[in-house]
Amino acid sequence: MKFFPELKLALGDGWIFLILFFILQFINLKFNSKQMREKLFDRSNFNRKQWILTFIGKIFGIPAMILIFFTPIAFQNIEFLLGIGIYFIGMVGLRISVLNFTSTPLDQPVTKGLYKYSRNPQETMLIVIFIGMALIVGSGVVLLLIIVSKTFSHYNLIAQEEACIKQYGESYQDYLKQVPRYFLFF
């Protein structure tokens, strides 16, 4: 793995995996109701600090995606094989977690499927997907940018959980005590 690999635009670059990711995101959004899409992206309860920290996270995520787009895939490296596996685990996990989310009635908290094991499986799977892409292109700088970006997204998740406590009350607080935020970590 190189820290900062050579950048170019060719058929064998990381853009392929970004396109697949965005196709999955399009599918996840296209086949859901407007109310469900609004629930997925509701940020109305964010305070100023949460907005700023989420924005900072996005500032680090955008250059990571640009670098992935223009970085040649390191097919011959072991990181490529590991990255492919991690990437597809994340893609499948993201699709499953979105299906779990969207098949739950709007007036109920999501606690089924992957949500039995993580309070935030969508965000966890996004982390997995982007770590997989960083390995696929064999870029240390992309991996570093993803880690920084996703560290800031933690504050986004806290805001979402605070909103769920307000909306669902004690039943959601019990859920918080039983299920870790990131699969393995409370």
pLDDT beyond 80 at 6: no
- For the segment 109-128, the average pLDDT, to the nearest whole number, is 91
What pLDDT, in 10s, does the model give residues 74-87?
788 888 999 999 99
DSSP helix, strand, coil percent of the chain (3-state; round to 5)? 70, 0, 30
Q: What does the alpha-carbon distance between residue 95 and residue 64 come to, in Å, rounded to a whole number?
A: 22
For the chain, the structural domain boundaries read: 15-178
Q: What does the alpha-carbon distance between residue 54 and residue 62 come to, in Å, rounded to a whole number?
A: 13
**Average pLDDT value over all residues in the chain:** 86
CATH class (in words) of the domain with range 15-178: mainly alpha
Which pLDDT score, from 0 to 100, does residue 7 have?
A: 67
Which pLDDT score, from 0 to 100, does residue 186 have?
A: 47
The set of residues, in sequence order, having a beta carbon less than 8 Å from that of 101 and lying 6+ positions away, is 36, 40, 110, 115, 122
Enter the tokens of residue 17. 């995996």
- Phi–psi pair at 180, nearest 5 degrees: -70, 155
